[in-house]
Amino acid sequence: DVVLTQSPATLSVTPGERISLSCRASESVDTYLHWYQQKPNESPRLLIKYASQSISGIPSRFSGSGSGTDFTLSINGVELEDLSIYYCQQGNSLPYTFGAGTKLELK
């Protein structure tokens, strides 16, 4: 199975700053890497598909990059509403797997 390692586990942020979250795969997943946001007590929501493709309705401050084994989710100007857990997920091979998540908290 492909193991996705997300770092850091927790990130303390200040509103307005630019941040980057990392997701590293145990083997190449090409660009079959997707990002989700889960706010407290809510269902996950798709943020980015295929490593860098934007999703309709998602604010433009969210962007993704990477291919192969190293991926990054960036938030350009964090807002309070972004305090959530972010998960990466690979769809290159079965079983589909998720990373353990990165939690954004207020500094």
C-alpha span between 45 and 82 (Å, rounded): 12
The stretch near other proteins (CB under 8 A) out of 17-25, 63-71, 73-81, 91-99 is: 91-99
Beta strand segments in 18-101, E: 18-25, 33-38, 45-49, 53-54, 62-67, 70-76, 85-90, 97-98
Among 24, 44, 58, 83, binds other proteins (CB under 8 A): 44
Residue from 34, 62, 71, 82 binding other proteins (CB under 8 A): 34
Q: Which residues contribute to the site for other proteins (CB under 8 A)? A: 1, 32, 34, 36, 43-46, 49-50, 87, 89, 91-92, 94-101
